[in-house]
A and B are shown apart, each in its own frame.
Chain A
Amino acid sequence: MTDPRTLPAPDRVADGQAKIARLVSGLRQVILGKEQTIDEIVASLLARGHVLLEGLPGLGKTELVKALSRLLSLDFRRIQFTPDLLPTDITGSHILQERDGRKEFVFHPGPVFTNLLLADEINRASPKTQAALLEAMQERRVTTFGETRPLPDPFFVLATQNPIELEGTYPLPEAQLDRFMFKVDVAGVDRAVLEEILITRIHGEPPPLAPVLSAAELRDLFALVDAVHMPRPVAAYIARLVAASHPASADAPDPVRTFVKYGSSPRAAIAIGAASRALALLRGRPGVGFDDVRQVARPAMAHRLVLDYTARLEGWDGRRVIDALLAAIPEIERGLPQTLEAR
């Protein structure tokens, strides 16, 4: 438990920022033109949160996760989710084996027993299989046949899903969506980035990457992120944001009242706080600022909103609602007097 009355030492912060910068730099070598996406994924990773990447095929989602595993020198597994995938295909199962003339059930760990799990096209699997990830993601342990086994530390799930293939897909339930700290939208790239890709990637192969962070260094970074100070006004801003995402809230803006059925959970507030700390460290600061919160609020809250059917009719999605929420809720509880104007 860090002392909330002290800040991490400046040299510690600088050292942590340098390490994170190496990680970010490596990722930017692999994925071009996705600086914000990379920052958000790294922030989620440092906050020990799981990430759901949503985007069209071929945008580099899988490559990004693979690059991350290489840079962190962590154990990496990939599961390609299909409709016939079974929960035991993820968690592992007991297999009857003969040992020393005796037959017994021996547990064979599934691919979930790794540091970095890539759940590719997660919405293709059945809900039952998806639910197999629930305990792993939240509790970081797996229970089979009444026996609970902890997962390696650190454990991250980076899932991808395709937004356009509706047939044969099973949308993730709200409970499972809530387990993801961030839902990151992987957008397309512009022409300049495409030109750069064509010149530098003949077969689309990314450049070779060397690990930049060991597991121990990553744990130090986790501790450092936890030591980043959360000022009370910033915490109050996060609380007001999450509270105002509920349509019954007095501070809820009109889009929230109109299009949101259920607002964000307290888990969203916790996720924003943790991710803001990580982002502040990424920026070399010992304390969280309002701008950190603004940046992480969108990927942390948008997928946690349960929207009304009218939102789809009117063309509103979670991201747009969060944008309206950020515009409506002031960062400081008591703003400037009406006769003063910020420059």
Chain B
Amino acid sequence: MHDMPPSVRPALRRLSRRLALGVFLDIWPAWAVASLLVAGIIALGCRMFLPGAASYLRWFWLAPVIVAVPALVISALRAYRPADVIAVADWLNGGRGMLLAVMETRDPAWIESALLQQGSAFAMPRVRPWRRLALVTAAAVFLGTALWVPQRAPRRTNSVAADEIAGRLNAAVVELKQQELITPADEKSLDDEIERIRRGAETRMDASSWEAADALKEKLAADVAEKQNALKWAADSLARYSAAAQAGASDPGAQASAAELASALEKLARTGLLAGAPGDLQKLMKGGKLPADPKALGELAAAVSKYLADANGRVASMARLGKEFGRFDPAEFPLEGGEDAAEGDPGRGGVTRGRGDAALTWGKETQPFDRFKARPLPPGAARSADDWSPLVELPGAPQAAPESSTAAGARQYDAAAGQSAWRRTLAPRHQSAVKKYFAK
């Protein structure tokens, strides 16, 4: 083409580029459509069978770009030769033959002729890729649809789910152990319990397995709450005792304060919180007598206060167990539609655990109701101070031990107190979980 006259060359170059574009557009759309269809089919397969590949599927959009490389190579191989370009140019100009004649003969006599100028004044062919690009668009829509399909989660086996349940429980136990909030005996007991739940879940995975796990977590949370209460009681009773001791031995409340402090420390010892206590405190517990000297008593009170503050910090850090594994908190799941919806049909909190104030749903019974034999539940622990209600105002420290306050789940509220709606009833579908938890 470079041998052609300069006046003709630009037009021929433009035509050559246009032809190259046409060749590419003849090849690439078919490749792009094929790549998008294949990518779409693969994406669908991954959506159904390969969840691990979900994060890589968006890269499938690069398929048309990638296939452009081989399409370019093939376009280059099929490119129009200069003689072909000139033949096309001559044909576009009506087939007068001037360009062809001059190209083949290179006759200088005709290079500047008017006939050749007329021969180079051809109209460029128009690019019409829309029909082919419409196919590419359709294929892209197919890929988009395939990527839009939700990822299908694989069905977990019982052992996987059981390991997950046990793993969560073990993590809670390990954390308690790190905070020195459980004794080795408790730890062994909890491990046995976790293993029992895991085996049960392996055997049969249903809602009862999760309920059993939740019950154990609640028990852990209740233990922590009990320790927290014991610490608070000890700190309060120590403060009252110190106040009474400073007032003098003649104070009638001093002896009562001493008795209360002794009970509180005993309670503290039972919860296992005194295992890491300072020597003075342990010695006091062994002797069972408080020092009469105000100075010694003050030092002891300071040591105990420091220890109690430290222990209280550890216990407080574990108090979140109660929130993590606790019961349903409606505040965490605001209902749709604002206040009107809040007054609507309750029970949308979850699949197996509805809102706390929801009417219980009685589904299919796994066992006849009359086969269940009621058994009194062991005393639980209050989760927070909100569960407490003043029964009577006593002058001074109460005489009753804190454990007299029963767990919320077992407390028999008086209907007159206005708390009858809080009463918890064991749903039939939870019976198996309860039985599994207490079966030893």
Contacts and interface: CB of A to CB of B under 8 A. Distances in A.
Are A and B co-members of a single complex?
Answer: yes
A46 interface: no
Interface string B48-81: 0000000000000000000000000000000010
A284 B119 CA distance: 13
B95 A289 contact: yes
Interface string B22-35: 11011000000000
Interface string A322-343: 0000000001111111111111
Contact of A289 (B97, B110, B125): B97
A336 B16 CA distance: 11
A263 interface: no
Nearest to B131: A339
A314 to B, nearest CB: 31
Interface stretch (A75-83, A107-115, A197-205, A230-238): A230-238
Given A5-B105, A337-B19, A332 B87 contact: yes
Interface in B115-159: 115, 123-129, 132
A291 B25 contact: no
Interface in B392-438: none
Contacts of B84: 332, 334
Interface stretch (A6-14, A143-151, A252-260): A6-14
A229 interface: yes
A224 interface: no
B325 interface: no
Given A7-B101, A286-B110, A332 B88 contact: yes
Contacts of A341: 125-128
Nearest to B96: A289
Given A10-B109, A339-B128, A340-B22, A229 B101 contact: yes
Contacts of A342: 92, 123, 125-126
B95 A339 contact: no
Given A229-B104, A286-B101, A289-B97, A340 B128 contact: yes
A4 B25 CA distance: 38
Interface in A277-295: 280, 284-294
A232 B26 contact: no
A73 to B, nearest CB: 31
B22 A336 contact: yes
A331 B98 contact: no
A332 B91 contact: yes
B18 interface: yes
Instruction: Report the interface size class on chain A.
Output: 35 or more
A240 to B, nearest CB: 13
Contact of B98 (A289, A294, A337): A289
A340 B95 contact: no
A203 B124 CA distance: 54
B25 A7 contact: no
Contacts of A331: 91, 95
Given A337-B22, A338-B26, A340-B19, A234 B97 contact: yes
A10 B22 CA distance: 37
B338 interface: no
A291 B96 contact: yes
Contact of B115 (A233, A285, A291): A285
A4 B102 CA distance: 12
B107 interface: yes
Contacts of B18: 340
B94 interface: yes
A278 to B, nearest CB: 14
B88 A343 contact: no
Most buried by B among A287, A293, A334, A338: A287
B23 A337 contact: yes
Interface string B297-330: 0000000000000000000000000000000000
Q: Which of B101, B105, B109, B132 has the most CB of A within 10 A?
A: B101
A335 B84 CA distance: 9
B129 A339 contact: yes
A233 B101 contact: no
A14 B98 CA distance: 15
B125 A336 contact: yes
Interface in A133-169: none
A334 B83 CA distance: 11
A91 B412 CA distance: 143
Contacts of A284: 115
B100 interface: yes
A10 B100 CA distance: 16
A235 to B, nearest CB: 10
A280 B128 contact: no
B145 to A, nearest CB: 27
A287 B107 CA distance: 11
Given A10-B113, A332-B91, A339-B127, A292 B97 contact: yes
Nearest to B124: A343
B109 A340 contact: no
B90 interface: yes
A340 B97 contact: no
Contacts of B107: 6-7, 286
Contact of B25 (A232, A292, A337): A337
A292 B97 CA distance: 9
A290 B90 contact: yes
A177 B246 CA distance: 147
A216 B55 CA distance: 88
27 contacts: A6-B105, A7-B101, A229-B104, A231-B103, A284-B115, A286-B98, A287-B100, A289-B98, A290-B91, A290-B95, A291-B96, A332-B84, A335-B91, A336-B22, A336-B88, A337-B23, A338-B26, A339-B129, A340-B18, A340-B22, A340-B125, A340-B128, A341-B128, A342-B92, A342-B126, A343-B124, A343-B125
The 5 closest A-B pairs by CB, nearest first: A287-B101, A290-B95, A289-B97, A337-B22, A231-B100
Given A289-B100, A337-B25, 5 more contacts: A285-B115, A289-B96, A289-B98, A339-B127, A343-B125
Interface of B: 18-19, 22-23, 25-26, 80, 83-84, 87-88, 90-92, 94-98, 100-107, 109-110, 113, 115, 123-129, 132
